[in-house]
Chain A
């Protein structure tokens, strides 16, 4: 390779690639050769340093869940997408703790959920109708999509969607909840459509989604992310599953402290949605 620069310039370019330059070093580099800073040589050295930096990276490193959620929520303004409704990221690290509800809390939860499932199954069997609309070809577009459009795109593009409808939980404010959930195992993507939940004060409490993969409603369901409900009426919220989710059997919304929790006490259940048998 042709060497375009003298030794001192190369020294500074190597320093730039390895550790960055101080203001004084930058000035010196500019005085030696004003073209050097943005030269191909500089770029190649930085590229070599970047490749070397990939050595020995942590095995299976993943972003912490709360950080993932925060970056995802904050991305809206930068990616030019429409701000979705789960705009309140977790603002503090969450720590694992035992559910305060104890056995009785879990029993109450399970009883409510099983009743909900039974109700849904009954309704589904007696209605004997299908809600799956005929798929239409998705439009190929580079336009910014709203959560509603993203949901529609998912519905139109995915044949094997998991679907569930919201039913009331154990808090009085959930009496009027309606809407549904759609989830794609293959795309690991899904959306909640919710009407009738009270607007929450995000400084005091937030809604949190939980995903159950076990029909017996496992003790530790998967965290589906925290979200807020605004006064827009129907809201559509992307599901932010923190872990790979396959064949979910039920979804639940609880009311939690701002930022959410790792383990819910399940004292305040704002909604339950059991997957219809034909969809499992």
Chain B
């Protein structure tokens, strides 16, 4: 049922809005708080993200991605824009907590859990320094410069690990095998 939510929204079914918030509200809220680290900012961002979701729901194509991926992509774009605009980035205060098994999300969002574990397996297939950089960059939302400051790696090295790690993770997750474009 959850995979039909965006189509229902695109068709103007307002009851689907509540389903969408119940299914993906936690995902978006969690992403926003992790990347912005400020509840006020996160609240503003989440509202903007869901406006984007309502506006783009008609563009969702279940043949190209899961709804979870689609919503998460919209969320990340908006959050990155917000970080770039405000220049408010998080501090690298929890590096030791990185590289742990992904926490189980709610049972209602199995798709998030499945895709998170798939990504985790791909991440574990990378070299340790690539894992660390990608964790800090994507999962914790640090800029390359902040990663360099937090880890002591030269900035160029951070960029190299990020690029090679992302390219390899893409291959490991089979993203390139999709052969299709997820348009948002």
Contacts and interface: CB of A to CB of B under 8 A. Distances in A.
Most buried by A among B21, B169, B170: B170
User: Chain B interface mostly helix, strand, loop or mixed?
Assistant: helix
Interface in A33-61: 40, 43-61
A32 interface: no
A19 B106 CA distance: 27
Interface in B115-163: 115-116, 118-120, 122-123, 134-135, 137-139, 143-144, 159, 162-163
Contact of A57 (B16, B50, B65, B105): B105
B167 interface: yes
Given A63-B26, A71-B46, A53 B31 contact: yes
Contacts of B54: 75, 78-79
Nearest to B108: A60
Given A56-B139, A57-B103, A145 B13 contact: yes
Contact of B138 (A18, A63, A81, A189): A18
A245 B68 CA distance: 26
Given A49-B138, A56-B102, A61 B13 contact: no
B55 A54 contact: no
A-side interface size class: 35 or more
B72 A54 contact: yes
A14 B73 contact: no
B137 A145 contact: no
Contacts of A62: 25-26, 29, 106
Given A47-B69, A49-B138, A79 B12 contact: yes
B37 interface: no
A112 interface: no
B13 A142 contact: yes
Given A15-B144, A51-B119, A53-B119, 14 more contacts: A19-B144, A49-B76, A51-B118, A53-B139, A55-B139, A57-B31, A61-B27, A68-B25, A72-B18, A81-B13, A144-B14, A145-B15, A189-B18, A240-B18
Contact of A54 (B84, B119, B182): B119
Interface of A: 1, 10-11, 14-15, 17-20, 22, 40, 43-64, 67-68, 70-72, 74-76, 78-82, 84, 142-145, 150, 189, 238, 240
Most buried by A among B51, B55, B123, B175: B175
Given A61-B106, A71-B21, A53 B76 contact: yes
A237 to B, nearest CB: 13
Given A67-B46, A74-B47, A45 B116 contact: no
A240 B6 CA distance: 20
Nearest to B115: A54
A20 to B, nearest CB: 4
29 contacts: A11-B159, A11-B163, A18-B162, A19-B137, A20-B77, A22-B84, A40-B181, A43-B182, A44-B175, A47-B73, A47-B170, A48-B166, A48-B169, A50-B69, A50-B76, A52-B138, A52-B166, A53-B76, A54-B116, A60-B105, A61-B27, A61-B33, A61-B106, A71-B21, A75-B17, A79-B14, A80-B12, A150-B14, A189-B15
